[in-house]
Chain A
Amino acid sequence: MRMDLSDQALIYMQIAQMIEDDILRGVYGEDDQVPSTNELARAYNINPATAAKGINLLVADGILYKRRGIGMFVSKGAVEAVREKRKNVFIEKFISPLLREGAALGLSAEDIIAMIRAKGERKDG
C-alpha cells in the first residue's frame, strides 16, 4: 500500500491532520499508541524529521503525549482538544471564504444564513 500526500500543503501539517482525523474517527482511542516517526516516514516516503515535526505539533497542542523510550500516545480528552482546534480552523477555512465569496456575489451574512438554513432543512426532511 502506498499512501499519498498532497503536494500543496506542508507535509508536517498533513501528518498532524491525519492523526487528528484518526483520533476523531476513533481509530486511536485515549492512551492508544500512534505510529512512530520512522513508521510514518516509511509509510509516506517522507523525511523522519518532517514526520517528527507533525507529531510535535500535536504534543504542543496536548493531543499526544510521549512515553520515554516507548512512543507517542493519545492524551486524555484528545477528541475534545481536536474538536476545539478544528472549530477555529473551521472559521478560517470555511466561514471566512464563505463570507468573502458571498460578498463577491452580493450576498449579506443574513442571506447566507438563510441559505444554510434552507439547505439544512431540505437535508433533514
Chain B
Amino acid sequence: MDKCLCAQNVCKAYKDNQVLSGLDLKLEHGKIYGLLGRNGAGKTTLLGILTAQNRLDSGSVTYGGEPVWENRRALDDICFSRELSGTQYSGTNNFRIELYLKAAAMFYRHWDAGYAERLLKEFSLDRKKAICKLSKGQMSMVTIIVGLASRAPFTFFDEPVSGLDVVMRERFYRLLIEDYTETGRTFVVSTHIIEEAAGAFEEVIFLDDGRIIEKAPTEELVSEFAYISGLESEVRKASAGLEVLNTSSVGARTVCAVRGVAPGFAPDADVDVTPMNLQKVFVALCGHGDEM
C-alpha cells in the first residue's frame, strides 16, 4: 500500500498572478521532504493543491493513481496542517484549542487522541484558550499537534516552526524524527529556517517562481556544490568543466560558487575549496543576484 502522491503539469493563477506553472512533483511514501522557497515562491499554494484544499487551473494531483479532489479515500490519508491566524473569514478566531482539536479528530481518520494529549502537555498549552488569544509560537504548536496527531500517511506542515523559539524548534524536529522512526510516514515541511532543519530532510524540494528547480537527496545535492577562491586565473583553471553559478571578487581575489564537484575534489590549481551547506546552496540557486 505504498502509494505515491503525484502532481502533473499543475498550473494555478490568482487573477493575473501565475503562481504555479506546469509543476510536476512525485512524493514517495516514507520520506521526510523539506520544501524550500523564497517568499511568494508558491509553497503554500502548492501544499494546498497537493492536499485538495485549493483548486488548480489545469493539471492533476493523484494519490495511488486516483485524483485527490473530493476523493474521500485519498483525503483520509492526507493531512495539511495550515498556519493558524487570530482571525478567520470576517471575524475573530474564537475557537478554543480543544474545539479545534476535536474538529481535527473528526476530520482525520487516523487521529491519535492520546498522542494529541501528550503533545498538549509537552507544549504546556491551555486547552481552554481561544486561538485568537495565542501567541504566534503557540499557534504554530497547535498546527504541529494537528499534523503529528493526524497520523496521516502523508502529512504536510506549512512553516511549522515560525514564531517558535530555538528550543521549541529543536523539539519540533525531535518529535518529527521520533514519530517518523516509529511510523515511517511521509512528511513535507516548508521552512525558511533552513540550516537547523537540513539534517531532518531526506530530500529537499526547491520551489522557485512557481517551478520546482531541484528535488534531490539533501546531502547528495549539498556535496555537489562548493566555493572556489583564489587568484582569478587559478580559480578559472580550477572551475574548468564545472557549472559556475556566480562569481564575485574582492581585490585580486575571486570567489565563485560552482556545481558539479565530485567527491574528494582537489583541483590542480592554487585555490581554496570550501564546502557549502544547504542554506548556501539554496541562496546560490534561488538568490537571483543576492548570491554572496
Q: Which residues of A contact B (CB under 8 A)?
A: 2, 5, 7-12, 38, 41-42, 44-50, 53
Tell me how many residue pairs across A and B have CB atoms closer than 8 Å: 50
Binary interface profile of B, 199-224, with partner A (CB < 8 Å = 1, else 0)?
Answer: 11110000000000000001100110
Asked whether A11 and B199 contact (CB < 8 A) given A38-B181, A53-B219, the answer is yes
Complex contact B199–A2 (CB within 8 A): no
Can you list 19 residue pairs at the A/B interface with Cβ under 8 Å? A5-B199, A7-B277, A10-B223, A11-B219, A12-B219, A38-B181, A41-B177, A42-B174, A42-B177, A45-B170, A45-B174, A46-B200, A47-B177, A47-B199, A47-B200, A47-B218, A48-B180, A48-B181, A50-B218
Complex contact A10–B219 (CB within 8 A): yes
Chain B residue nearest to A49 (CB atoms) is: B202
Complex contact B275–A8 (CB within 8 A): yes
Complex contact B178–A42 (CB within 8 A): yes
Instruction: Give the docked Cα–Cα distance between A88 and B31 (Å).
Output: 35
Apart from A45-B177, A45-B200, A48-B177: 12 A-B pairs, beta carbons within 8 A: A7-B198, A7-B277, A8-B275, A9-B275, A10-B219, A11-B219, A41-B177, A47-B199, A47-B202, A48-B181, A49-B31, A50-B219
Instruction: Give the docked Cα–Cα distance between A50 and B223 (Å).
Output: 14
Chain A residue nearest to B223 (CB atoms) is: A10
Chain B, interface residues (CB within 8 Å), range: 20 to 34
Instruction: Give the docked Cα–Cα distance between A45 and B167 (Å).
Output: 13
Contacts of A53 in B (CB 8 A): 219
Asked whether A46 and B199 contact (CB < 8 A) given A11-B219, A38-B181, A53-B219, the answer is yes
Instruction: Give the docked Cα–Cα distance between A49 and B184 (Å).
Output: 11
- A67 to chain B minimum Cβ distance, whole angstroms, is 20
Asked whether A42 and B181 contact (CB < 8 A) given A11-B219, A47-B32, the answer is yes
Complex contact A45–B181 (CB within 8 A): no
Instruction: Give the docked Cα–Cα distance between A44 and B181 (Å).
Output: 13
Contacts of B277 in A (CB 8 A): 7-8
- B5 to chain A minimum Cβ distance, whole angstroms, is 19
Contacts of B174 in A (CB 8 A): 42, 45
Complex contact A50–B275 (CB within 8 A): no
